[in-house]
């Protein structure tokens, strides 16, 4: 299994957010879009795992006053990551086609 | 602009576990989220959520690079072991003291816990033990030996309960049975029990041969335990054989059971059918109850119904209870039920079966054990820190070389667990030595047994780990928090905090030790006083023989005539009691006008030679004598206290009538000087001595001290000719000392505890001294350079500690005085608490303190200032 369910979600959000993907931003998006509210610990754990698997890279920067002057860790999706996402997605679609009554649309 | 900050505690927790490389990001997120939540939900929710965040982030990713930890744990382990061994061998003295101190604490803890475990295990080895109960009663106002609770019940109670209470499943009547079992020509004096046919329904003992249902049905049956069966019958099957018990013949052995478990509070070697007891057979014939001599045990179908049964008793009592032969029965009785498992810890009850334990004392011992262990751990902690100061440089280097704080903590913890393991091994050896002594001290079969005690080995390992962790965590944290800058500095002295806690603990340890020294001293002095006090009778060279055989008692006159032939036998007498313990009492009227008997007076019956043999002084009138007609038993000798209690003087007592007008006259023919007929806890009570030559409990024989062995053999032969019972003899001196065996044991116990406490306290002080002296090496060096002599340095170093010890001692004086004063008050004859007790104890503690600090202060005084000031 290349990607766990939660990891996949996080990776998707990282891809979506592009340059702005860091801890709190990812958390907020997951909250709005997916109605999921992961703890900051779970989130960072997943991000570290994604990095160690090579799906994302990280860089530091963006210290703000709200953070008490502390820098953020930005995550960027890699080409490998994008490829893995599409593979996983494709797999899902193939399986979904076999379920009668399941209508899917891809925007 | 002021930044809103998440709660400080949350941040501290985060900083504590989080690795540096992850900390910035996480903390930043924490701040940002806090600010967002404050806006959305308000401060309270934001605060709580921060804690949730911090706890949720406590995951492996936050602890540092995982690959780094893997390499370290396996490879570094060997290094840790090497370093630990190296350190221990370099600092042999400290290491030995550390291991020894911890071992001592562990050994005390384990020994006492084994005892506590044993105490709580009594009477639990029966199947369905939760359903086994017994009945006891209270006779309001009928106080005997300090309590009005009695363990004895009417004979018919068991069968009645079985008939009338549906909650009761089985019930049995039990009584003690002690006496001679005879098989052919062999006699065995045994202690056992007697039960009715339903005994084994209630007590499901393990049977080796025979069936429980039939074992005691026949009124002439007897069941033996394994060992007794072997003793009497060897390897033959005993079932079907016939035995005689006391004077009744024809008991058939119906079964053999396992020996009584060591956790059974009543020990027995046989169980005989209760019909041997005439009183029982008699009582069972009556419809109503008029006796209280038996024990009633029963089982409930449902253990929760115990109180229901208890509530039904009053109705039962009024239905069956007959008034006794007293003119009126003044004592209202109430029956209670009690679980078998509670019987052992119920000591204040009369006529109960078996051993009793004091629950409070067991708890106290448990607490003491814990305290001793804690003190040992604390001392260990102190000494470990002291040892580690020398290694501060090593710690600094490791940190510089990149060791994470976690690694250092693990290293120190591993070291302290290793030391704990060593201490455990040493302590197990100590426990093997201590347990038999402790068991003797407490008079219980405490044992260290890895085979039967299933939780012992894992428990000990668990203990070792916990102790290692507790003792090691503080030094580990302290050491790993040292900044390399501080320790690798050229100047060298490392400053550590926490000294005031250590000082407080030292004071406590010394105060406790002082108290124990006082207690030991006082107990010892009181025991000496008791041993040496003028008792009013002789103790030396008197052999006493216990008479259980009624026939033997009647043979006194012929036996004593025989003995008169032996030149080494000086005198002989027979008496109901020995002078040191006259336990039989009666009540008479103290004045002729008294309405009812209101004077408790003790009574002794004996013959002509008693007073001379024991050297009891006659101060008025005459002794029993063949010249007069004393054998009628109407003549009495009183002691001084009795005379006074009856309102007479010693001179005019002679010829007076004791009976105060009742039936037969009792004439006073003589008065003896008061002598101690009870333990020194009691004042001297009134005593009346009457005449009897063929009844009594003891022979007393005065013998030639040079021919002891010969005379004993002679007497044994002559008595064995007269009685099949075993020859039970004891020197009167030993008998007397046995009266105080519990005080003697108490004294022993206190001495042991005192030694333990003093050793632990001195270890503690040693550690503290090492620590504090180490902190002051530079100061001492400077002083020496400026011209201070050795003596001056010693005084300087010891001054602080002596102050501590003095505070401890002075503080402990009031409490120890109070406790010992109360203990002594229990004795009617006692020593006084003299001021020199306290002085001696105080000086002793100071001496101990000096010895503990001695090594340290001498070393500090002799240190070369060049070494200490090298760094400047």
**Residue A57 near chain B (CB below 8 Å):** no
Residue with tokens 């602080």, as numbered in its chain: B800
Distance (Å, rounded) from C-alpha B244 to C-alpha B184?
A: 9
Identify the pLDDT of residue B491. Answer: 46
B22 interaction partners in chain A (CB closer than 8 Å): 44
pLDDT tens string B561-590: 888 888 889 999 999 999 988 878 787 888
Cβ atoms within 10 Å of B637's Cβ, excluding its own: 27
Substitution target from B4, B15, B61 for chain A, most A beta carbons within 10 A: B61
Q: Is the pLDDT of residue B1 over 70?
A: no
**The pLDDT of residue B65:** 62
The pLDDT, as a whole number, for residue B585 is 78
Residue B69 has pLDDT above 50, yes or no: no
A62 touches chain B (CB under 8 A): no
Asked if A60's CB is within 8 angstroms of B25's CB, the reply is yes
Contacts of B28 in chain A (CB under 8 A): 23, 63, 67-68, 70-72
- Note the pLDDT tens digit of each residue in B790-846: 777 777 777 888 888 888 889 999 988 998 898 888 888 888 888 888 988 888 888
How high is the mean pLDDT of chain A? 87
Q: What per-residue confidence (pLDDT) applies to B70? A: 47
A31 touching B, CB under 8 A? Answer: no
As a whole number, mean pLDDT of residues B697-713 equals: 87
pTM score above 0.90? no
Residue B136, Ramachandran bin (φ over 0: left; ψ between -120 and 50: alpha; else beta): beta
Q: Is A72 on the interface with B (CB under 8 A)?
A: yes
According to the model, what pLDDT value does residue B325 have?
44
On whether the CB atoms of residues B133 and B272 are closer than 8 A, the answer is no
Element (H, E) at B820: helix B790-825
* Nearest residue, CB atoms, B29 vs list A24, A42, A63: A24
Distance of CA B760 to the CA centre of its chain: 21
Please give the pLDDT value at position B354: 85
CB contact under 8 A, A27 and B33: yes
Cβ B56–A39 below 8 Å, yes or no? Answer: yes
**pLDDT value for B195:** 92
Q: How far is CA B228 from CA B184, B195, B244, B636, B775, in A?
A: 15, 18, 14, 46, 69
CB contact under 8 A, B26 and A67: no
For residue range B19-62, what is the model confidence (pLDDT) as tens digits?
Answer: 888 888 888 899 999 989 999 998 889 999 999 989 988 888 88
A52-62 burial code (b ≥16 CB/10 A, e <16): ebebbeeeeee
ipTM associated with this complex: 0.89
CA distance A25 to chain B (A): 10
DSSP string over B761-809 = HHHHHHHHHHHHHHHTHHHHHHHHHTT--HHHHHHHHHHHHHHHHHHHH
Q: What is the pLDDT of residue B357?
A: 83
pLDDT surpassing 70 at residue A104: no
Q: Is B341 left (phi over 0), alpha (psi -120 to 50) or beta?
A: alpha
pLDDT value at residue B663: 73
Model pLDDT for residues B170-227, shown as the tens digit of each residue: 999 999 988 888 888 888 888 999 999 999 999 999 999 888 888 899 999 999 999 9
Contact yes or no for A41 and B56 at CB 8 A: yes
Q: To probe the interface with B, which of A66, A69, A71, A74 has the most B CB atoms within 10 Å?
A: A66
pLDDT at B327: 42
Q: What is the pLDDT of residue A75?
A: 92
pLDDT digits (tens, 9 = 90+) for B417-433: 888 888 888 988 998 88
Query: Alpha-carbon distance A29 to A49, whole Å?
Result: 19
Say if residue B531's pLDDT is above 60: yes
State the count of interchain CB pairs (< 8 A) between A and B: 71
Helix (H, G, I), strand (E, B) or coil at B187: strand
């Amino acid at each position: 299994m290349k990607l766990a369910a939660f990891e996949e979600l996080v990776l998707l959000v990282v891809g979506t957010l592009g340059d702005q993907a860091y801890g709190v931003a990812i958390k907020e998006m997951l909250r709005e879009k997916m109605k999921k509210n992961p703890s900051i610990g779970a989130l960072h754990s997943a991000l570290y795992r994604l990095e160690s698997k090579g799906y994302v890279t990280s860089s530091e920067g963006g210290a703000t006053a709200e953070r008490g002057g502390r820098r953020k860790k930005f995550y960027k999706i890699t080409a490998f990551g994008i490829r893995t996402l599409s593979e996983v997605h494709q797999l899902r679609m193939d399986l979904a086609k076999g379920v009668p009554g399941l209508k899917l649309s891809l925007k | 602009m002021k930044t809103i900050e998440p709660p400080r505690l949350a941040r501290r927790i985060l900083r504590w576990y989080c690795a540096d490389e992850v900390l910035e990001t996480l903390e930043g997120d924490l701040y940002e989220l806090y600010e967002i939540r404050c806006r959305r939900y308000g401060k309270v929710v934001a605060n709580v959520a921060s804690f949730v965040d911090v706890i949720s982030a406590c995951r492996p990713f936050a602890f540092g690079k995982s690959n780094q930890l893997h390499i370290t744990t396996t490879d570094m382990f060997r290094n840790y072991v090497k370093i630990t061994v190296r350190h221990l061998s370099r600092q042999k003295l400290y290491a030995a003291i550390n291991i020894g101190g911890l071992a001592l604490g562990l050994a005390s803890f384990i020994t006492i816990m084994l005892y506590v475990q044993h105490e709580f295990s009594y009477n639990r080895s029966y199947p369905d033990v939760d359903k086994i109960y017994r009945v006891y009663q209270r006779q309001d106002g009928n106080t005997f030996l300090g309590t009005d609770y009695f363990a004895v019940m009417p004979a018919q109670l068991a069968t009645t309960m079985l008939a009338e209470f549906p909650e009761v499943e089985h019930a049995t009547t039990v009584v003690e049975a002690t006496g001679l079992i005879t098989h052919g020509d062999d006699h065995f004096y045994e202690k056992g029990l007697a039960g009715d046919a339903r005994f084994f329904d209630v007590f499901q003992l393990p049977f080796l041969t025979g069936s429980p249902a039939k074992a005691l049905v026949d009124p002439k049956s007897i069941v033996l335990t394994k060992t007794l069966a072997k003793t009497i019958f060897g390897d033959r099957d005993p079932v079907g054989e016939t035995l005689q018990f006391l004077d009744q013949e024809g008991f058939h052995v119906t079964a053999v059971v396992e020996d009584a478990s060591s956790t059974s509070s009543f020990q027995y070697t046989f169980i005989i059918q209760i019909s041997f007891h005439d009183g029982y057979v008699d009582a069972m014939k009556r419809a109503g109850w008029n006796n209280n001599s038996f024990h009633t045990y029963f089982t409930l179908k449902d253990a929760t119904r115990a109180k229901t049964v208890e509530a039904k008793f009053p109705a039962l009592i009024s239905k069956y209870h007959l008034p006794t032969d007293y003119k009126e029965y003044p004592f209202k009785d109430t029956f209670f039920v009690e679980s078998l498992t509670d019987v052992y810890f119920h000591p204040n009850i009369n006529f109960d079966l078996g051993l009793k334990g004091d629950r409070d004392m067991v708890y106290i011992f448990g607490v003491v054990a814990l305290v001793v262990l804690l003190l040992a751990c604390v001392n260990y902690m102190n000494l470990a820190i002291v040892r580690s100061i020398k290694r501060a440089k090593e710690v600094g280097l490791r940190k510089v070389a990149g060791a994470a704080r976690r690694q250092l903590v693990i290293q120190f913890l591993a070291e302290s667990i290793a030391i704990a393991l060593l201490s455990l091994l040493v302590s197990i050896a100590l426990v093997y030595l201590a347990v038999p002594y402790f068991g003797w001290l407490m008079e219980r079969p405490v044992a260290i047994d890895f085979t039967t005690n299933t939780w012992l080995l894992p428990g000990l390992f668990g203990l070792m780990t916990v102790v290692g962790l507790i003792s090691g965590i503080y030094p580990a944290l302290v050491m790993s928090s040292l900044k390399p800058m501080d320790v690798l500095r050229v100047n060298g002295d490392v400053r550590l905090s926490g000294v005031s806690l250590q000082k407080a603990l030292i004071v406590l340890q010394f105060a406790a030790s002082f108290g124990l020294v006082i207690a030991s001293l006082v107990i010892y002095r009181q025991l000496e006083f008791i041993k040496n006090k003028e008792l009013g009778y002789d103790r030396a060279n008197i052999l006493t023989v216990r008479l259980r055989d009624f026939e033997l008692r009647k043979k006194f006159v012929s036996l004593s005539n025989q003995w008169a032939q032996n030149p080494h036998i000086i005198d002989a007498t027979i008496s109901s009691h020995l002078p040191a313990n006259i336990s039989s009492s009666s009540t008479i009227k103290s004045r002729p006008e008294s309405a009812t008997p209101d004077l408790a007076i003790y009574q002794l019956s004996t013959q002509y030679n008693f007073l001379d043999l024991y050297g009891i002084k006659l101060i008025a009138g005459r002794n029993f004598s063949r010249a007069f007609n004393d054998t009628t038993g109407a003549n009495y000798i009183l002691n001084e206290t009795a005379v006074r209690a009856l309102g007479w003087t010693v001179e005019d007592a002679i010829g007076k009538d004791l009976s105060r007008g009742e039936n037969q006259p009792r004439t006073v023919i003589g008065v003896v000087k008061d002598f101690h007929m009870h333990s020194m806890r009691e004042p001297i009570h009134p005593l009346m001595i009457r005449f009897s030559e063929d009844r009594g409990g003891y022979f007393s024989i005065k013998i030639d001290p040079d021919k002891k062995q010969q005379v004993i053999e002679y007497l044994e032969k002559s008595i064995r000719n007269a009685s099949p019972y075993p020859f039970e003899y004891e020197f009167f001196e030993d008998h007397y000392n046995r009266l105080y065996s519990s005080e003697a044991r108490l004294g022993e116990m206190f001495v042991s505890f005192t030694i333990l406490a003093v050793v632990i306290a001195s270890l503690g002080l040693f550690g503290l001294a090492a620590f504090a002296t180490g902190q002051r090496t530079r100061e001492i060096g400077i002083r020496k350079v400026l011209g201070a002599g050795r003596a001056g340095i010693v005084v300087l170093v010891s001054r602080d500690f002596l102050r501590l010890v003095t505070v401890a001692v002075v503080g402990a004086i009031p409490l120890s005085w109070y406790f010992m004063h109360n203990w002594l008050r229990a004795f009617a004859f006692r020593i006084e608490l003299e001021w020199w007790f306290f002085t001696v104890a105080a000086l002793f503690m100071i001496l101990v303190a000096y010895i503990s600090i001695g090594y340290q202060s001498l070393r500090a005084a002799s240190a070369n200032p060049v070494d200490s000031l090298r760094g400047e």
